Every structure is written in C-alpha cells, then in structure tokens.
Amino acid sequence: MNSKWLPINEIAEKVNNGSLRAADLVDQALKTIEQNTEYNAIIVTTADRARERASQIDKLIKSGSKAGMLAGVPFIAKDNFLVFGSETTAASNILKGFNAPYQATVIEKLEAAGAICVAKANLDAFGHGGSTENSDFGPTLNPHDKTKVPGGSSGGSAAAVVLEMAPFALGTDTGGSSRQPASFSGCVGYKPTYGLMSRSGIIAMASSTDTVGVLGRDVSDVAYVTECISGKDPLDSTTIESNPAGYMIDKPIKDLKGIKIGLVSEYMTDGVDEGVKNSIKDTAKKLESLGAEVIPVSIPSLSLALAVYYILVPAEISSNLSRYDGQRFGYSDPNAKDLDESYTNSRTRGFGKEAKRRIMIGTHVLSSGYYEAYYKKAQLVRTKIINEVQKTFESVDYLIGPAAPTTAFELGSSTNDPLQMYLADIMTVGASLTGIPAIVIPAGTVSGMPVGLQIMSPQKSDKSLLEVAQLAQKEINK
Amino acid sequence: MAKVSKEIRDKYSVTIGIECHVQLKTNTKLFAGVSNDARGAAPNTLISHICMGLPGALPVVNARAIELASRAAFALKSTPSAFSTFDRKHYFYPDLPMGYQITQFYDPIVVGGKVHTNVDGTPHVVSITRAHLEADAGKNTHPAGADYSLVDLNRAGTPLLEIVSDPDIHSPAEARAYAHELYLLMKYADVSDADLFHGNMRFDVNVSVSMTDELGTRTETKNLNSFKSVEKAAEYEINRQIGLLEQGVKIDQETRGWDDGSQKTTSQRGKEQAHDYRYMPDPDLPPIELSEDFIARIKETLPMMPDEWRSKLAGLGLDVSQISVLLEAEVDNSNVEYLLILKNNLSNKNYAKQLANWFVNIEIPYRRDEANNPRILAPQKPKLYKAVYDMVEANKLSSTSARNLIQLLLDHEELPDNIEQYATDQGLVQVSNTDELEKIADTVIEDNSQAVADIKSGEMKALGFLVGQMMKLSKGKANPSIAQEILKNKILS
C-alpha cells in the first residue's frame, strides 16, 4: 500500500529518535485535511493546540528525552470526545459554543503517550444515525464515491482515516457506529469489550452499550493504540482491567489451525446484498486456507437484537439527553420569558429531528404503564441474547459475518425513512448488546464500494481477536 | 383553622407515615470527589463536572456512603442488602443538573427494619419499609423583586439516606417520638451529624384520617426540619382533614408545605401535577454488592444503640427521665463521652451507678448553665471521676463536697496531678477526726439547748437539725454520720 503514513509504532520510534519531527507530522495532517475539505469529514481542527504540542514534543526529544509510545502521532477524534483546543459539539446545534473544561480519559491517555489531536471529526448528531447525514454541520461524503454516505455515526472518523488525514482516528460505537462506517468507507473499525476503554469525557449516547471505537488503516495500528488507551479508570465505574499481556501485536500468529469460526446464519439471509454475501464467503475461504474451520452457526435470538436495541438505547438516550436543558451550557433561548419556555425553546431548537424522535421513543418506553411491557421486556430479551451468544462461544472461537447488509448507500436515500436507517445497524447491535469485542476489516469491494468483514469474540478476548484480525487482513491483502 | 372537638376527632382513626432524608457524614459527595460540607461556602464553589452534569461526566459511588448506609441498616434493626442498585428518577428542575436524580428505586440498600419509640410510657414500634441512598439536589433562591432565580449546586450530590416508615404512626405525639428516635439512632450509629438546623434531617409527613377500615386520602407535608414541626404539622393536617370531611368536602391528594410563622400547612402541588419519574436502572453505576465479611465488620463496629443503653441505664437504677437526659446530653456535645466512660466501667456496677448519677445531676446541669466554663477534655474525665469516687468511698468527701470538687475539676483543662491533695487544699476533704468533731459538737449543743431538750424527750427530728448545724460550722467538711454518732452519745448517754 502506498501510504502517506508509516505504521504508527514506526512513526513514534522515528519521532523519539529525532529522525521525524512532530511538527512536520502535524503539518502533514493539517495539510491533508485542508486538501479534502469537500468530504466534510472534519468539523474543526485543533491546529493551534496541535502545533503547540508538537513543538513541545520536538523540544523534549531534542533535550534527550523520549515522548512516549505515540510520540508525535497525529490523530483525529470524533466530535463527541471532550478535547481541548476547539469546541466540542457532538455535531448538534445544542452544543455549539461548548468548550470542554476537561478532557476525555482516553484523550488524556493518548496525550500522555505523546499523540497529538489535530481535528474533530463529523458524526451523526450525538451518534444518532448510520450515515453521518444527521449532522448539524452537513453530511460527510464517502471517500470512494462522493454521492454515497461514509456510514455512521463515526463517518467523519472513517473517512478521515481513508483520506489519510491522520494515521488513526477515534470513533465511538454504541450499536455499530465505528464498525459500519469502517465497512462502508474501507478501513479497520474496532469496538472493544464493553468497559475496556473509559467513557469519561465522551458525550453519552446509550451508557450501557457506548464504547470507544478505534479506526485505522490496519489492525496492527489499531492494536497499538488499544494498548495505550485501555484499562480501568477511576472516573468510569464500568471500566475493567486491561489484559496484562497488552494488546500490541508483537508476535503475529502465522495460521488459524485448530480455530473454529462460526459464520452467523442470521447475518447471511436473503435480505443481505448478494455481492456482500459473496465477499464474506470468499473471505471465509481465505480463513479456511489459513487452517481455520468455518461452520455456519445460528443464534436465533439475534434476530430480536435490533428491536431490543431500539427500545433500550432510546430509553438511555432520553435520560442522557436530559442534561441539555439550556441552563448551564450549550444553546439557550435568549428570549425565553420563563423557565418552562427556556427549557422548551432551548431543547426544541437545539436538538435535531432524530434526537427528538429518540427522546420521544425513550420517554414512552420508560413511562409508567409501559416500562414493564417495553423496557423490562427488552432487558429480558437482552439477557437471552447474551446467554445464547455465550453458549455459541462454547462451540466456536469466533463469529464472523458482514457488518452491514449492503455497501454504502446513496446520500439522502434513507434520511426520510428512520426505520430503513435503523436497519443499517442490524448486524452490529448484537455485539453491542452483549458487550463482546468486534472488529471490521476491509474484505473486498462490490462495484467499487468496500465491504467489511466483522469478526466477534467472547468478552475480554480482545487480544486474540486483534491477532486473528491482523492475520486475516494480511491474507485478504495478499 | 378551628380545632375539632374531641368528640368528633374520636370518630376518626389517624394514619401517619414519615419519610426522612438523612444527610450522611461523608467528606465528599455521593458520586464526586468534591467536599460535602457546604456550610459557609460561597455558592458554586464546591462543584465539579459531575455536580454540574457536564457532557461526558460519569458518577462514581463514594464507598464511605455505602458504609454509613450499612451502619444505618443495623441501627434500624435491619441488615444491609447484599445486592442493591442505583436508578435514575427523571424530572426537569434548575437545581437538578442532569435532569435526573440518582436514587435507589428498584433495589434499595435497606429493606425492612424497626424503630422503637415511647410516648408517655407507652411503647410503640414503627416498621421501616425501606431506606435508600440518593443524591441531594442543589438549591434555588429567588431574590425578592428580581426577574431571575439563582442556583447553587454546592449541595448537589450530597449523599442522603431516605428512610421510609410504614404507616404505623397514629398520633402527632407518636410522629414526634418517631422523628426524635430516628435522630438519636442516626447520631448513635454515627451516620449523620443530624444537625437539624442545617437541614441534615428533613421529614416528609404523610397524614390521612378515616372513619372506616379503609385508609383515607393522604396529604404529604414536606421538608419539616424540627421534631416540633413534625408534631404540629401532623396535628394541623388531622384537624384540617377532619374539618373538611365533616363539611362533606373530599380531601385532595397533594403535597403541602409547612409555614413555621403561621403554624399552618399550605397546598404546593396537586396530584394532577405529579411527575412520571420514568425510573430506570442507572447504566453508569454497577450494582452495589456487599460481601458477608463487609456486612459482619459493619455490625461489629456499631456502637451501642439508644435502646440498649436504656435497658443498661435502667439496670443502674436511673429513671426514664434521667435516662433521657443522659442520652440527649451525649449527642448534644460530642466531647463529653458520658456513655463511653460508662461503658468502660459497666463491670463495676456501684461505680457505674455513681457515675451515671453524677453525669445526670452534676456535670450535665453544670454544662447547661452558660455562666460556667468547663474546659476539661473527655479523655481526662475517667481520672477525675475515679479519684472523686475513691475519696467518697473512703469517707473523705461528703456528697456536697463531691459535687463541689467535680465542678471545680470540670473547669480544669489539665487535671491536678494529685486530686486528693487538691481537694484538701480546697478545704473539701471531710473531717472524720473525732477530736475536732467533738469540739464542734460541744459548741452546737451549747448553742441549741431547745433542740437538745427535744432530743432528750425523744424527738429525734431535732438530731438532724443539730447535724446540720455541725455541717454549717465545719463549712460542710464534717462527716455527717460520725457527727451524728458523736451528738447522740453526748446528748443521750
């Protein structure tokens, strides 16, 4: 691959030994961003702070010190991460003008390792969407075809990586928001085990499935970044300890002998695009050629995952969005006559259609009289799905399938049909509801548009998932 | 409101349930590492991104609050739940930054419990429904004449334990007794500063009246912050509701407020304005799981509760009102340690009894008189009382001198090395020396010939009078029993 960027570990090594300057890397990133503004992948750059940090890092190294595992590596953060150096908006009007007084834990960890945030990526406002069209800053375009969507909600992050604006980008993944855009845009998108990376300082969508997403060109880079940002955080009580063996792929596996892989039947039904299915089948053969045994598996309750997801997630969204009331930060109607009017007008004007739709659904399913029938029932089904998925992992080591039923769709084709838009999440919400790690890697194209292979594994098996994905990617790229 | 006659009132049964918010004495807030002591702090200085409900802020539970709630469980004669969860209660209000309050709705940390009370000698038991942890809201103020309101979030996130009673209370006096006993329990369990003036305990009183077996429509009078207002508000509501029912008017289920000035409750919010709180498990907070070891450790470290003290003190011969004086005085001033000193000496019953007496009859009244300035520190008191006790036992102090000596010593920040020497120097040690006493007796006999004559004719009352004269002459130092013997011998033999 003829890339602008070296592998991330090599960039950091060269910065640390003085053969590359952080300042030049930041300039390169900002220049690439500037050259690709037509894609609207970026909401705002953090150029001033990035240049300042770069010069500090270069000085540090000149003085004989090292600057960390990610010394001088530029990255882009989805605009729902609280980051210094620009506003943090979650692509919603209600947060325009909000300057974060603290940074997300993962941003702090990246900075401590020497990485430099250069820009904030576009997204569906608050993460609500699968196409990055639902942004108050306008849609992001697919890097392979400007008439198509890049996927979402981390479409800006995926497009930025594919357009080589930075070696990696952070997204978030609540129901597939990093994996599906990776599939549509053609890069690697990884959702860790729930709790492996801190949610502190990330604008919440649905707390029980929100995770950080890491997007990069290849799995090794993603694993390298994972090493730097995982682990327990005193500011997030749902975080878990990271694997003491780390996540870096320093000893790549050579084959998949003795490994059993289940191809999820529920993700290969008639409703799925033939081209997508063929790409996945071809890829499955490649995995077999590496020694893996690929067998079809059925997880019947997965067919309920989308319905469960669109009850539980709006419920949490309606709750998490309550704080945007126009009283302490963000947009507030300057002409409101009283408190009620201030609440109503600030929220009515600040939130977009999709946020309001989800607040309505969530409020409804939590209302007294409906809680048992919707929220409670959905939680029960969620437990059933978790149990079935766990059971499946007793007979296979990994699960595979597509990340979406189609390749990237036309801009505007689903924006008036929310149900159609929700269906784009159908293959990714399962891993979100069950908290298991999942990764999408590029696996060929259909009519020039990328297709992604999704690989899933049991909770906390992120290290081996990354190792298998790295080998698979190598084999696919052959 | 006119008070209804006893005759009418007796037709109705009264049912009262009380919810009490207890502020837990943690250093920091329930979900944020920010100081919990808002007294005297400038508005919005004790806040963080969590208290402000900023985007991306996540709550992290304060382990100390869990510990204190667990202690409270035992104080309420219950056991902390091994498994409890936090839930979100949704409503919009400027003092509620996240748009929801974090509370425990579905699985509270305390389920069940009992509080024993006593009204004029009649014991009552009030069952506890539940007690749950929750974060307090901030404070809104509405400056007079201004077209804005102010919000202070210093209090937002303060840990509260809400204790909910069953509707087991049937009179205003019982309501007051329950509130007061809860106060003592929280103090003794060391769960709360229970400073009522600063709102550390706030009571919501639910009252209904009925002429049938079915409960009547209830009203809830919120935010009462004294035992007296609990009693008065209940009394007012009972009268108000009976008055309305007697006129054929239905009671509205509503939230009412108490006005201390007018001593009245007033309607604040009707049922139709009640919120649907849309309770939902808080996905940011994993369940609280308490190990058996933890629960056992909490139980072990719980000090004696008022109930236990009452029976112990009754065993030492104290009456109900003396016991009450002692239990109250203990919590009024944390530097007195009456009960700790007693506890350490319970094995010596006579001494313990004497101590309890001295506390109730000497130290407590002495401290209560603002003219006095007791400077002694609690750790010095065991030495003080033991020395006085030993001197009394050795007949070296009269009870009057003992009182004087205790009062003198209470004023000392540092006790004299030799307390007996000090007592002697103060002229308090009693004269048991017969030579000296005989001289005094002679004087007394000479000066009171009428009394002497009375005694000789068998009127022994006069003997007490002569002993009193000897005490007077000796400035209280005469040992009264020896003095009496000497007088008897001299007059009658």
Among A290, A266, A291, A288, residue whose Cα is nearest residue A277:
A266
Of the residues B278, B279, B282, B285, the best mutation for testing chain A's interface (the one with the most A CB atoms within 10 Å of its CB) is: B278
What sign has the CA pseudo-torsion B65, B67, B70, B71? negative
Is B19 an 8 Å CB contact of chain A? no
**B109 and B22 fall within a common domain:** yes
Give chain A's length. 478
> Does the structure show a pLDDT above 50 at A417?
yes
Is B198 an 8 Å CB contact of chain A? no
* B299 inside domain: no
- To which H or E segment does residue A204 belong? none
- To which H or E segment does residue B468 belong? helix B461-473
What sign has the CA pseudo-torsion B433, B439, B442, B447? negative
Q: What is the pLDDT of residues B29-78, one digit of tens each?
A: 999 999 998 888 999 999 999 999 999 999 999 999 999 999 999 999 99
Chain B's closest residue to A342, CA to CA, is B94
**B308 and B262 fall within a common domain:** no
Which pLDDT belongs to residue B3? 74
Size of interface A-B (CB pairs under 8 A): 95
**B31 and B52 fall within a common domain:** yes
How far apart are the CA of A255 and the nearest CA of chain B, in angstroms? 39
* B150 inside domain: yes
> Does the structure show a pLDDT above 80 at A310?
yes
* Residue recorded with tokens 């009673």: B165
DSSP at A140: P
The C-alpha atoms of residue A396 and residue A256 are separated, in whole angstroms, by: 13
Is B51 an 8 Å CB contact of chain A? no
Which residue type occupies A350? G
**B84 and B105 fall within a common domain:** yes
The C-alpha atoms of residue A176 and residue A379 are separated, in whole angstroms, by: 19
A339 to B98: CB separation less than 8 angstroms, yes or no: no
Residue B396 burial (10 A CB sphere; 0-12, 13-18, 19+) = buried
* B297 inside domain: no
Q: β-pairing, A168-173 with A211-216?
A: antiparallel
Is A363 an 8 Å CB contact of chain B? yes
Which pLDDT belongs to residue B428? 86
> Does the structure show a pLDDT above 80 at B271?
no
> Does the structure show a pLDDT above 70 at B272?
no
Among B60, B92, B278, select the one facing A325 at the smallest CB separation: B92
Query: Among B255, B289, B323, where does a domain finish?
Result: B289
Q: Which residues of B touch A90 (CB under 8 A)?
A: 55
Q: Which residues of A touch B88 (CB under 8 A)?
A: 319
**B165 and B209 fall within a common domain:** yes
* B298 inside domain: no
> Does the structure show a pLDDT above 80 at B493?
no
**B227 and B361 fall within a common domain:** no
DSSP B86-142: -EEEE---TT-TTSEEEE-SSS-SEE--EEEEEETTEEEEEEEEEEEEEE---EEE-
How far apart are the CA of B98 and the nearest CA of chain A, in angstroms? 4
Peptide bond into A153 cis (omega under 30): yes
Is A84 an 8 Å CB contact of chain B? no
Domain A1-478 is classified in which CATH homologous superfamily? Amidase signature (AS) domain (3.90.1300.10)
Q: Express as a percent the part of chain A with pLDDT over 90.
A: 96
* B296 inside domain: no
**B85 and B110 fall within a common domain:** yes
Is A311 an 8 Å CB contact of chain B? no
**B373 and B446 fall within a common domain:** no
Residue A377 designated active-site: no
> Does the structure show a pLDDT above 50 at A364?
yes
Residue B363 burial (10 A CB sphere; 0-12, 13-18, 19+) = buried
Name every residue whose Cβ is closer than 8 Å to that of residue A443 and which is 6 or more positions away in sequence: A279, A280, A282, A283, A451, A452, A453, A476
**B327 and B366 fall within a common domain:** yes
Residue A376 designated active-site: no
- To which H or E segment does residue B354 belong? helix B349-358
ipTM value for the complex? 0.96
B56 to A104: CB separation less than 8 angstroms, yes or no: yes
Chain B's closest residue to A376, CA to CA, is B280
Pairwise pLDDT comparison (A422 vs B81), residue with the higher score: B81
Residue A177 designated active-site: yes
Residue A219 burial (10 A CB sphere; 0-12, 13-18, 19+) = buried
Q: Of the ranges A168-177, B150-159, B236-245, B477-486, which one carries the lowest mean pLDDT score?
A: B477-486
> Does the structure show a pLDDT above 70 at B410?
yes
Tell me what the mean pLDDT of segment A268-279 comes to: 95
**B445 and B414 fall within a common domain:** no
The tokens for B271 are 């049922």
- To which H or E segment does residue A202 belong? none
How far apart are the CA of B415 and the nearest CA of chain A, in angstroms? 49
Determine which one of A86, A131, A135, A153 is catalytic.
A153
CB A355 within 8 A of CB A321: yes
B56 to A363: CB separation less than 8 angstroms, yes or no: no
**B309 and B233 fall within a common domain:** no
Q: Which CA distances in Å does A126 have to A102, A171, A320, B138?
A: 19, 12, 10, 27
DSSP at A65: -
Among A199, A236, A328, select the one facing B97 at the smallest CB separation: A328
The C-alpha atoms of residue A218 and residue B439 are separated, in whole angstroms, by: 113
Portion 103-162 of A in contact with B at CB < 8 A: 104
> Does the structure show a pLDDT above 70 at A293?
yes
Which pLDDT belongs to residue A362? 98
User: The sheet that has B87-90: what strands, in order across it?
Assistant: B100-103, B87-90, B280-281
A322 to B92: CB separation less than 8 angstroms, yes or no: yes
Which pLDDT belongs to residue A2? 53
Q: Which residues of A touch B280 (CB under 8 A)?
A: 315-316, 319, 366, 375
Tell me what the mean pLDDT of segment B236-247 comes to: 96
Query: Among B425, B458, B483, where does a domain finish?
Result: B425
Tell me what the mean pLDDT of segment A247-275 comes to: 96
Which pLDDT belongs to residue A374? 97
The tokens for A204 are 């919440």
Which pLDDT belongs to residue A401? 98
* Domain CATH number, residue B454: 1.10.10.410
A235 to B279: CB separation less than 8 angstroms, yes or no: no
The structure's pTM equals 0.91
How far apart are the CA of B153 and the nearest CA of chain A, in angstroms? 11
Among B133, B112, B109, residue whose Cα is nearest residue B21:
B133
The tokens for A137 are 């800053």
Among A235, A237, A368, select the one facing B285 at the smallest CB separation: A237
Among B58, B90, B276, select the one facing A322 at the smallest CB separation: B90
Furthest C-alpha separation in chain B: 99
The tokens for A403 are 């990340």
How far apart are the CA of A129 and the nearest CA of chain B, in angstroms? 19
Q: Which residues of A touch B276 (CB under 8 A)?
A: 367-368
In three-state secondary structure terms, B83 is strand
**B242 and B337 fall within a common domain:** no
Confidence of residue B397 (pLDDT cuts 50, 70, 90): confident
Tell me what the mean pLDDT of segment B195-205 comes to: 94
Which pLDDT belongs to residue A1? 41
Pairwise pLDDT comparison (A422 vs A206), residue with the higher score: A206
> Does the structure show a pLDDT above 80 at B1?
no
Is A375 an 8 Å CB contact of chain B? yes
Q: Which domain holds residue B455?
A: 434-492
Q: Which CA distances in Å does A296 have to A263, A268, A336, B171?
A: 5, 10, 59, 71
A237 to B279: CB separation less than 8 angstroms, yes or no: no
Among B228, B93, B100, residue whose Cα is nearest residue B173:
B228
* B295 inside domain: no
Among A98, A207, A363, select the one facing B278 at the smallest CB separation: A363
- How many CA atoms are closer than 13 Å to the CA of A75, on its beta-carbon side? 33
Number of domains in chain B: 3
Among B56, B149, B276, select the one facing A201 at the smallest CB separation: B56
